[in-house]
Amino acid sequence: MRCAWLFPLLPALLFAVDLKIDHVTVAGSDIKKMQADLSAVGIPSVYGGPHTNRTTEMALVSLPDGSYLELMGLQPDADPQKADQHEWTKFLKGNGGPCAWAVGEKDIAAEVQRLRAAGVPVAPPVRSGRQRPDGVRLEWETSDIGTGTRGAFFPFLIHDFTPRDQRAFPQGKPAVRDFTGIAKVVIAVRDLDEGIKRYRQAYGLPEPIRQVDKTFGAYLALIGGLPVVLAQPLTQDSWLSERLDRFGEAPCAFVLGASRSTRYHAASKTRWFGAAVSWFDPQKLGWHLGFEASGR
């Protein structure tokens, strides 16, 4: 007996994928201040250079698994009009902190086709790049998933034309060894059920695991094996609700995997889905960054 009701779901079920985080982005107006704030909690970064858009510049914390934490700020001489037109302008000018994330994709065209078959809108790939301070030229292409702000709810896709290690490891090695990589992207959503529905549609996922974290102030959902936690505010007057009002549905925190974390001061701790998560002081850092034991 054939199950006709399964046919519309086959594209998602047959091609469900694991997402490998390429990098996550933290945005603000002043790249040097962002680097200093991160250094104050014990995490060094390396200046990566200006983007070819003549509007933004970046620094990064490259991690052993090849992922990296990107700090993005406005160039000192950025054209005001171009800055206003940037996809992350509200994060850049409003010192919004976490704003986007990207996943690496060897074949963007195939992934675009898969997502479209699942009923998810995807933009055509766009070529871009930047030049490192040492003169090395980097080239890549990206494609945006969904109709919202780039990389905010869904990740954007990225594929390198130049060697990826030149982008991820500007010093030829990881900037830190105590943290292994980006473990989780925490995305603030207005409606947890709707957010879950959209992710299940795009990636063919099972029902999520849910929990409540009163300390973080959110209803949480972990869907399948993805490195994504969706977070809906517990109350209308919480920091998370205020953030949604200012920046919309987008990353509100990142969690690093940690191999050695004892020398880092945690302002607070909690447990998410069985794993202990420690949080740096968001008042000192300016945004929410946590870490958990790698391998969890």
Instruction: Kindly indicate the confidence band of residue 54, based on its pLDDT and cuts at 50, 70 and 90.
Output: confident
The three-point CA angle 121-123-128 to 5° equals 155
Look at strands 156-160 and 97-104 and give their pairing: parallel
Q: What is the pLDDT of residue 295?
A: 56
- What Rg, from alpha-carbon coordinates, does the chain have? 19
Question: Are residues 41 and 156 in contact, defined by beta-carbon separation less than 8 angstroms?
Answer: no
- Spatial distance between the Cα atoms of 23 and 101, rounded to a whole number of angstroms: 6
pLDDT number for residue 43? 94
> Which pTM was predicted?
0.91
How much is the pLDDT for 83? 84
Same fold, 19-168 and 179-293: yes
Q: What whole-number percentage of the chain has pLDDT above 90?
A: 79
User: Do the beta carbons of residue 236 and residue 163 sit within 8 Å?
Assistant: no
Place of tokens 């060897």: 106
Domains of the chain, residue spans:
19-168, 179-293
| Partner residues linked to 128 by β-bridges | 140
Lowest mean pLDDT among 38-42, 84-88, 205-209, 271-275: 84-88
Amino acid at residue number 191:
D
Domain spanning 19-168: CATH superfamily: 2,3-Dihydroxybiphenyl 1,2-Dioxygenase, domain 1 (3.10.180.10)
Task: Give the separation between CA 272 and CA 275, rounded to whole angstroms.
Answer: 5
Residue 204 has pLDDT above 90, yes or no: yes
Tens digits of residue pLDDT in 138-175: 999 999 999 999 999 999 999 999 999 999 999 999 99
pLDDT tens-place string over residues 255-296: 999 998 788 989 999 999 999 999 999 999 999 999 998 754
The span from the CA of 90 to the CA of 251, in Å, is 14
**Res. 225 pLDDT band, cuts 50 70 90:** confident
Question: What does the alpha-carbon distance between residue 222 and residue 234 come to, in Å, rounded to a whole number?
Answer: 17
Residue 186 vs residue 6, higher pLDDT: 186
Q: Which CATH superfamily, name and number, covers 179-293?
A: 2,3-Dihydroxybiphenyl 1,2-Dioxygenase, domain 1 (3.10.180.10)
The pLDDT assigned to 199 comes to 96
Average pLDDT of the chain, as a whole number = 91
User: Which of 4-13, 39-48, 241-250 has the weakest average pLDDT?
Assistant: 4-13
